[in-house]
Each structure stands twice: as C-alpha cells, then as structure tokens.
Amino acid sequence: MDRKINAELIIFDLDGTLIDSRRDIAVSVNETLEALSLPALSEELIYSYVGNGVRLLLEQAVQKAGLENGIERAVDVFRRVYPKRLLETTVMFDGVEDVLRHFLSLDKKMAVASNKPYRYVEEILNGLDMTRFFLSVKGGDSQKRNKPAPDMLNDIMSEAGVGNSASVFVGDSGIDIQTGKNCAVRTIGVTYGFRSREEVVQNLPDVIAENPAELKEIIE
C-alpha cells in the first residue's frame, strides 16, 4: 500500500497528536471528582475519555465514578481547576517540534483542530512556543459543532485556500479519523497518542504513523 500523501495543508489534532497533556488532564479530572465527593479514577481510564471535549470527558468520568446527575457542577469545577494546570507537565511529544520545523521548511500550511476549548488551546500553544507554526487554530467552541462534524476542518481549509484533495488530517483517535472522512480529507492515524492502536486501526485511516518522525516520510 502506498504510504505517501501529497498535501499542501496539514491539519493536526492537539492532545495525543502534538502534545502529551494526559497527566495534567487526569489530575484535573480527579481533583474535580474529589470536589464532588466522588472516588478518583485511574489515570489510564481518564486518558481513554480525552478527545471528545470537556463536557463529554466529564460526563464519562462523573458517571463512572457513580454520579448520574452532577455534570454541570463538574464542568464548573473543572473550568476552575484545569486552567491552573495547563502547562504543569504538558509537553510536545518527542520529535514533534522537528516534524513541524520540517514541514515549515517545505512551506506546508499547518493548522490545529481540537475539541478542547479554544482558550486552553491558545494558552498551551503559546506556552510551548508552537503558535508560530500554524496559520489557523480551532478549538471546541470555535464553531457550532465539534469533531467529528466536518465544520472545523472546512473552516480551516477555507481560511487556508486549500481544497480537501490537497489536505490531510492527523489525529490519534477514531473521532479524528471520522472527522477527516466526514469532509473527504485524507487521514493519518497516529498510534503513539492517548487512544489504543486498535481504535486507530478499526477506524481505517488512509495511513498509520507509529511515531511523529514517520509523518515526515508520509507527507510530501
């Protein structure tokens, strides 16, 4: 199978694709549960909830911890807790900065499409000195519908002046892969992120990358 993808525009998911933010998210979720007098969850379980946006993350966590009704309070607490931890342990995955520099040197257009609220995305990208790489950044509140709806990617392609046939979406979850499919954009599923390799494979991305460096070999 041909692993090469020719693309003018590379759109990246954020959490689990460009950055390893899992520890800060998990600690914040457990701090939220503690505030609701609920038991802590394993960090591995919390990692599996990441990628659907804050509300769904907390709905799953609160229900798993044994509370059916309490999502609104959980969201309020998390929104107070997480901003204090955005950059405590969050870093770029090894090799990501080299990949971004490589594509910048090739004059590729790059963007970020995340279900995380935009203000968090912006602060993390600024804090890690990553903003300079991207012509467009979208968060979960940047449009009416989150991924896997195609809105975010469609907006980015429109801003970049690049059609779907010359674009590619890179992500670590089934939602990311389905988002690409929903707007007829080729997809690269990465297996080094938060979700299982099985989830990535089952969602049938066009190509699979086992580590960030492989992206330089795949995208041309």
What DSSP string describes 68-104? SS-HHHHHHHHHHHGGGTTTTS-EEPTTHHHHHHHHH
Cα–Cα distances (Å) from 61 to 66, 76, 90, in that order, read 9, 14, 21
Pick the catalytic residue: 13, 15, 20, 206?
Answer: 13
Q: What is the DSSP letter of 219?
A: B
Q: Tell me the chain's radius of gyration from C-alpha atoms.
A: 17
Catalytic: 13? yes
Cα–Cα distances (Å) from 211 to 10, 124, 141, in that order, read 16, 21, 29
Please report which residue ranges of 15-70 form alpha helices under DSSP H.
22-35, 43-49, 54-64
Q: d(Cα 91, Cα 55) in Å, to the nearest integer?
A: 23
Of the candidates 49, 40, 52, the residue with the CA atom closest to the CA atom of residue 22:
49
List the catalytic residues.
13
